[in-house]
Amino acid sequence: MPAVVARKRFAFVIPVYDVAGYLPDLIASIENQTGGIDRLEVIAVDDGSTDNSLGILEEWASRRPGLVTVISKENGGVASARNAGIEHLTAEWVGFVDADDMIEEGYLAATARFLDANPEVDMLATNMAYFDEASGRVRQEHPLRYRFAPGNRMVDLERDPGCFHTPVTCTFLRTDAIRGLRAYADAVRHHEFPASEHTYAIPSTELDALRTRLASMPE
């Protein structure tokens, strides 16, 4: 009788275009997770890069075949790349990391703890910070940081729609809630937001971000 393969808990769908200089930092930050990487799948979608981005991804996938899947497509923009990745999802939760981001080493472990304590959640939002490449310092100055000041909490978006967390790069969504949808408009090539009819968002002060756009969860 064939062994039953457990469903992964988390997935990162990563759109990639001409970011060869940043990919090693992102890869290292994923590999350095203190917990949860054994239940993670990474779907990296190369969107017609003209540099060595695809080569870096393929080398990563060859080293970590149980972790990384690489998809290569013609250039169509970040939205079409994310949609292509969604089609290959198997994990329970998905986050849309940008290729020039990094995540703190406790990110997945802290996310898992919060979801264990709040199983009714449909969407989880995480905090952000800036990473200054010139100085190597993290700056806690992101303009949306105020949303996390109350601490870990549940938010009913029907009652408090102003808490809707638009930066998709630091948001987890239930895969089953978006499967079969074109979650992103393919014609939008730059800044876009996923559609959601679900009612809960969970900001957390545990979440802290590196390099401008990505949330992380230090202890």
Tens digits of per-residue pLDDT, 47-103? Answer: 999 999 999 999 999 999 999 999 999 999 999 999 999 999 999 999 999 999 989
What are the backbone dihedrals phi and psi of residue 19, each rounded to the nearest 5 degrees, phi first?
-125, 35
Q: Indicate the range of 17-21, 123-127, 131-135, 214-218 predicted with least confidence.
A: 214-218
Alpha-carbon span 140 to 169, nearest angstrom? 17
Give the model's pLDDT for residue 154: 80
β-strand 68-73 against 40-47: which pairing, if any?
Answer: parallel
Percent of the chain's residues with pLDDT above 90: 46
What are the backbone dihedrals phi and psi of residue 40, each rounded to the nearest 5 degrees, phi first?
-115, 140
Residue 12 has pLDDT above 70, yes or no: yes
Residue 157 has pLDDT above 70, yes or no: yes
Give the single-character DSSP code of 170: G
Structural domains present in the chain: 10-182+194-201 (3.90.550.10)
β-strand 10-16 against 93-95: which pairing, if any?
Answer: parallel
Torsion sign, CA atoms 164, 144, 194, 68: negative
Residue 18 has pLDDT above 60, yes or no: yes
Give the model's pLDDT for residue 192: 39
Give the model's pLDDT for residue 191: 38
Give the model's pLDDT for residue 116: 92
Beta-bridged to residue 102, according to DSSP, are: 210
> Confidence band (pLDDT; 50, 70, 90) for 141?
low
